[in-house]
Structure 1
Amino acid sequence: MTRPSYTKFNYSKPRMLTLLGELCNDTLTDANTNQIAHWLETEPQARIIYANYMAMHAELYSEPALLSTPTSLVNLDQPAGARVKKSPFRGWHLRGWHLALAASLAAVALTVGAWLVRDGSNLSSGPAMADANDASPGLPVAQITGTHNCLWKDNRQSVGYGEQLAAGRRLELAEGLAEITFNDGATILLEGPASFVVSGPATAELDAGRLAAVVPSRASSFRVSTQTLDLLDAGTEFGLHALDSGASEVHVFNGIVRADVLDARGRPRERLQLNATEAVRINPVSTTVMEFPADDGKFIRSLASSTGPHDGLLAYEGFTYPAGPLTAQNGGFGWAGPWFSIAADKVKGRDTNSVAKGSLAVEGIVPLGNRAALTGHENRIRRSLATSVGGGFDAAGLVENQDGVRLIGRDGKQVFLSFVQRVSKTEDEFYGLELHRGDGNANRVLCLGHGDEGAGYCATSNFNIYRAENAVPLGTEDTTAHLFVVKISYGTDNRDTLEVFRDPRPLHEESRLQPVAKLRGNFAFDRVSLANFHGEKIHEVDELRVGTNYAAVTKRWGGNRGRLIRRVANRQFTYPSLKETKHGLSLVVASHGWN
């Protein structure tokens, strides 16, 4: 690897401490990120300061009770190799550090990854992660990423949000909900009362209680077992119930689950394969298998406070439909009716406006349900929002009458929209997510995707005559999934301002964002459309939200601190480690080596 170059910065301890404070507050600029990276590479003292600062901040963040127990750390004024007193950090296996945002300080302090140097725009979802196959004692393999009204059977457990879970950790939940995210991305929502064991980096045991699991494709080797079932190859969504009688039930909501039925000694007796909407119960005495339809209502699958409009979120579409046609599907909330096909491929048929298995994954999202997929090339399908009198948008004061049509767009109001979009082939003719004020190209007030008339990857508006000559670019088009957030500020006399944010960071603070595109015109609308014309590509969309504020359309991705880590480096070398001696712990700073 070619060794990167840095601007030379004169090392200063006070300046280092200031920058670390900015890092923990998520206010660190790109220039200051490079400054920290340079000092971590060249200054042993900076590495000592960094290790201490992040460890202390992580303890304060994840364990407030420790505020009453001061801890002696490495003396910041001592050289590398200085001895320290024994502390709560004794026994940690520290092998390196991720220079990551303090949104996952517990992960930074307890699991030490590789030093990294910012590559410009990369991001990493989830807590700082160890190798999925590394089950070294003491290394965390999962993290508590959400809690709701939790009461633990043993008060001494003191399990809280952000806590790192090592292999072998048992959780005894008396009441409430606890979300557990494994390092490979598998997510468990545990419902009390329950007894659950984090067995390893990709394994778990449910001794009693219920859980709902979301296992993305990258974590397809994830396994979870009960007394009578061992679920393997579970790249899917399912619910698992270990009953008081010793019986077990598994309900498959999406994808395919393979499971072994276990005998009284825990040995595989029979292999099952379950598809979506199927469920089985295993009797522990006879190991008989009873099949029946899956029941989504038996499991809590989300920590969201409401399944309807709430906290400024007025409309939601997660495409939680069976794989097949999208036309006539009518889920979510905030809509005036089902999806309706405006156009469909004349050769391949109307079902090319479809629902595909699995969700689109972006940084920080826990995928649920399926996704919309336009596989034909003369396709447009739309859904109207509920703008009627007394509806959610009307109650929020967002609806006004323009040309005899009730549209979202009242003067002085703001509307936010977010969605995830992916295309299978770049520079391949027209596609995009559209906002309309009635059907027809002339009524398209916005298109985000690849515009027509040679406009390229951009934001356009036929209604405002934004053609190829004044289309606003959206960045580099590629085949990965991107999160878009659209902010519309409605002005007087239809002088509106529309801003587009692509993969916005941070997801919890709008004031720090910079739009990739900005348009002016009349952007009142009453429906959302998906379009895909000409070429050979497949256009996909997921997680569509409309609300009155930024957090309402983004908090699924950023509402829980620790879900998203900003990557600030792309190379590895060896780092400070804690070496146990008869006098306590010594911090050893090793020389770095380039890969």
Structure 2
Amino acid sequence: MSYRTSQICFGLFAFAAAVALSGRTEAALLAYEGFDYAEGSLAGQNGGSGWGGAWSAGSVVPGSLSYGSLPTAGNSALISGSGGSISAYRDFAAEYGAGTYYISFIGQRLSPHGTLDDNTVRASSFQIHKGFGTSGDERLSAGKATTASPNQLYNWAMFSDGSGNFLEESAEPITNQAFVLMEFVVNDDTDGEGPGVSTDEARMWINPSLNGPLGAPDVELSQAEGNNHDYLFGRVRIFSGNTSSAGQYADFAIDEIRLGTSLADVGVTVPEPTAGLLALVGVALAGRVRRRAAR
């Protein structure tokens, strides 16, 4: 093989390798739920992947919720507090400790009431809990905590420990259907904060581009130590509050739940900088070889 031919082959090889690497991610889709069930009760349904049990409550309603080019399947779920406060629990196949995790879903606080105040007083949220089963140990939530006038909130928020005291609000109304992306970093497997133990991190994007880059998060939690800010988790809870003296019941629609260890797992594709750089090097090298060959 001539020097010129070998240079051409090397350039083409570098370009092909870079293209291949651009789609390669060290990651794992840990769980998926598309609510691919017949219309009716959600309780007892056990489809999807990465789960360790069935849903405890809720309803399956016709049609998928959609967001851009995100793949969808089946129907969607409605968690309604019209008959009383409701908690739809489901265990993951494992309990998760130290690491970086991503969760995405499509959700919306529905508007069955006459005024915005009536519709958004009571809590409705997607939550991760520590442990299995139905005992309450809420760690991180996306949606809305119970907040009444004069401190009413109307937008998508993220909060720790199920409390409005540990809440950060976005600028996007929760009554608008949204693609919600959460990133959280569990720094250690120790449950319980204390001196010298770092607080776990959490960020949330509302309607980010599925093709990246993400940009700054809409919400970023930076809380003091304690108050269940360890985001160890083993189950999901979707909650809607009932009618109370504070306000009317909540209805929460949700679909396309994904849990993974990379953005690609949860429906967001962000080109890797290294792969992009290799692709540019390959193109430049191939171009240089062509120029030399033309002399």
Using structure 2 for the length normalisation, give the TM-score: 0.65
- Three-state SS of the structure 1 residue aligned to 2:54 is coil
Gap regions ≥5 residues in structure 2? 1-25, 112-118, 189-196, 223-228, 243-247, 271-295
Out of 363, 368, 375, which is 2:73 matched to? 368
Cα distance in 2 between the residues matched to 1:530 and 1:468? 17
Report matched runs for 1:387-466 at 5 Å.
387=94, 407-410=95-98, 413-425=99-111, 426-438=119-131, 439-441=134-136, 443-454=137-148, 456=153, 457=155, 458-462=157-161
Q: CA deviation at 1:311?
A: 5.1
Out of 386, 394, 419, which is 2:93 matched to? 386
Structure 2 residue 44 is the aligned partner of structure 1 residue 328? yes
- The match for 1:163 is none
- The match for 1:518 is 220
Deviations 1:389-430 (A, max 9, x none): xxxxxxxxxxxxxxxxxx3121xx211111110121242411
Cα distance in 2 between the residues matched to 1:326 and 1:543? 15
When the two chains are superposed, the root-mean-square deviation of aligned CA atoms in Å is: 2.4
Question: Number of residues paired by the alignment?
Answer: 211
- The match for 1:263 is none
Q: Which amino acid aligns with 1:418?
A: S
Deviations 1:66-109 (A, max 9, x none): xxxxxxxxxxxxxxxxxxxxxxxxxxxxxxxxxxxxxxxxxxxx
- Three-state SS of the structure 2 residue aligned to 1:340 is coil
Structure 2 residue 201 is the aligned partner of structure 1 residue 508? no
Q: Which amino acid aligns with 2:108?
A: R
Q: CA deviation at 1:314?
A: 1.4
Cα distance in 2 between the residues matched to 1:408 and 1:478? 28
Distance 1:376-1:427 versus aligned 2 partners, 3 A rule:
closer
Distance 1:522-1:547 versus aligned 2 partners, 3 A rule:
same
Distance 1:365-1:375 versus aligned 2 partners, 3 A rule:
same
- The match for 1:340 is 56
Aligned residues of 1:501 and 1:515 also touching (Cα < 8 A): yes
Distance 1:386-1:380 versus aligned 2 partners, 3 A rule:
same
- Three-state SS of the structure 1 residue aligned to 2:172 is coil
Report matched runs for 1:156-167 at 5 Å.
none
Report matched runs for 1:240-255 at 5 Å.
none
Distance 1:525-1:366 versus aligned 2 partners, 3 A rule:
closer
Q: Which amino acid aligns with 1:471?
A: L
Cα distance in 2 between the residues matched to 1:316 and 1:469? 31
Aligned residues of 2:182 and 2:202 also touching (Cα < 8 A): yes
- The match for 2:170 is 474
Identical counterparts, % of pairs: 25
- Three-state SS of the structure 1 residue aligned to 2:173 is coil
Gap regions ≥5 residues in structure 1? 1-309, 342-352, 388-406, 560-595
- The match for 1:252 is none
Distance 1:474-1:409 versus aligned 2 partners, 3 A rule:
farther
Deviations 1:46-74 (A, max 9, x none): xxxxxxxxxxxxxxxxxxxxxxxxxxxxx
Distance 1:496-1:328 versus aligned 2 partners, 3 A rule:
same
Q: Which amino acid aligns with 2:208?
A: P
Q: CA deviation at 1:447?
A: 1.8
Cα distance in 1 between the residues matched to 2:89 and 2:208? 26
Cα distance in 1 between the residues matched to 2:73 and 2:168? 32
Distance 1:489-1:311 versus aligned 2 partners, 3 A rule:
closer
Report matched runs for 1:176-575 at 5 Å.
312-341=28-57, 353-377=58-82, 378-387=85-94, 407-410=95-98, 413-425=99-111, 426-438=119-131, 439-441=134-136, 443-454=137-148, 456=153, 457=155, 458-462=157-161, 467-492=163-188, 493=197, 495-505=199-209, 507-510=210-213, 512-520=214-222, 521-534=229-242, 535-555=248-268
Cα distance in 2 between the residues matched to 1:428 and 1:321? 31
- Tell me which structure has the larger Cα radius of gyration: 1
